[in-house]
Amino acid sequence: MIHYPIFKVRPDNWQPLQPSPQQWQGSGVGCSNWSPVHTQQAHSMAQNQNSVVVPGRIAISLASHISDSAIPQLEDTYGTLQDLVIGRGSADLLIQHLESAELKERDRLIEWIISCASALSLSSLGSRVIQKALDVSTGVSRHKLFEHLIPHVYALVRSLHGNFVLQKLIVLMNQVEVDAVVHAMSSDVLNIAKHNCGCRVIERLLEHFPDIPSMKPLVEQLMFATADLARHRNGNFVIGAMLEHAPSHVGRQVSNRLLPEATTLAMHRGSSHVLQKAIQHGCWETRGLFAQCFLTSQMPRVEEITTNKFGALVLEELLRHDLGVDGKQLQERMGIA
């Protein structure tokens, strides 16, 4: 389990809980380069304003826009915002009330959590609260949530919990709003595609906004690294999503980049999944090119690919489609009557 630095805000006695250097290393969302200077800066920020520091080194102001008199009642019911961030609040009860409350009460709950939306998104229970808030919010409340979350896209995309919030945002956003998400990711898209959380976010973008103008540079970067990503344990899902959801001309270009290495890619666990997608969603011409690639390959030969459990799945997928003479030749080489 990864341990993150949590700073509890208390009026008289404020103490940072410091993890060991080993816990910092590789803790994700840029925590590996945390230093005592960062700790002092966060400490100073927390003393100057009511704030909390969470994974990803985001210091979030906990000032609420609702009346001060309403806050104690909310905190008695659900716990403080700090408690929700560190997993001690009544998140399940808050989610239940967000779902069942009347519009006015629901907006009041969203207004309370909105100033801490980024911090909550990066925590286990808080992520669930924010996802539900996004689901039930409308109009101004939803726009405010967007405004608080968009500046933290880079932290959210690499967060074990925040990536689910970002996926929810993408599903609910319009084209203009999603441009900001794409822009924030475009400078490091290849690393994000290989990240176990980031790859999911790119999949959602390709699923819901495959052909908007802002996606073109991002898709081109991914396409140039097709073979490398196809072999990667996370990146292969991104290339698969491109083949499934991107415009047909993009799918053809991706398939053409797979063809020179198709026979070796077919025998790899991750890239075999990509080849199956290319065959499923490709046109008859693309399938014919893959069939010819396998039939003319000398190393490895079709007979060898057939004995590989991943390669066999690729060839079986190819034979599900009408390949004419090439299909009959493949069946003969594979020993299928």
Q: Is residue 22 over pLDDT 80? A: no
Residue 108 included in any domain: no
On whether the CB atoms of residues 22 and 68 are closer than 8 A, the answer is no
Residue with the larger pLDDT of the pair 43 and 323: 323
Mean pLDDT for 1-26 is 35
Percent of the chain past pLDDT 90, that is, above it, reads 59
Residue 258 sits in which domain range? 188-337
Instruction: Name the pairing type of β-strands 51-54 and 16-17.
Output: unpaired
Q: Is residue 31 over pLDDT 50? A: no
Helix (H) or strand (E) holding 51: strand 51-54
Amino acid at 314: V
Helix (H) or strand (E) holding 326: helix 325-334
| Structure tokens given for 10 | 């208390």
pLDDT digits (tens, 9 = 90+) for 126-145: 999 999 999 999 888 899 99
What residues contact 219, with CB distance under 8 A and at least 6 apart?
A: 206, 210, 242, 246, 250
Burial tier of 249 (Cβ tally within 10 Å: 0-12, 13-18, 19+): exposed
Residue 297 included in any domain: yes
Mean pLDDT for 175-181 is 92
Residue 89 included in any domain: no
Residue 263 included in any domain: yes
Nearest Cα to 63, choosing from 53, 54, 52? Answer: 52
Residue 226 included in any domain: yes
CATH of the domain at 226: 1.25.10.10
- pTM over the 0.95 mark: no
CB atoms within 10 A of CB 129: 26
Position 69 confidence tier, pLDDT thresholds 50, 70, 90: low
Cα distance between residue 318 and residue 321, in whole Å: 6
Cα distance between residue 34 and residue 36, in whole Å: 7
Residue 90 included in any domain: no
Residue 111 included in any domain: no
* pLDDT (0 to 100) of residue 6: 35
Q: Is residue 9 over pLDDT 90? A: no
DSSP annotation string for 177-213: HHHHHHHHHHTTHHHHHHSTTHHHHHHHHHHH-TTST
Number of domains within the chain: 1
* pLDDT (0 to 100) of residue 281: 96
Residue 195 included in any domain: yes
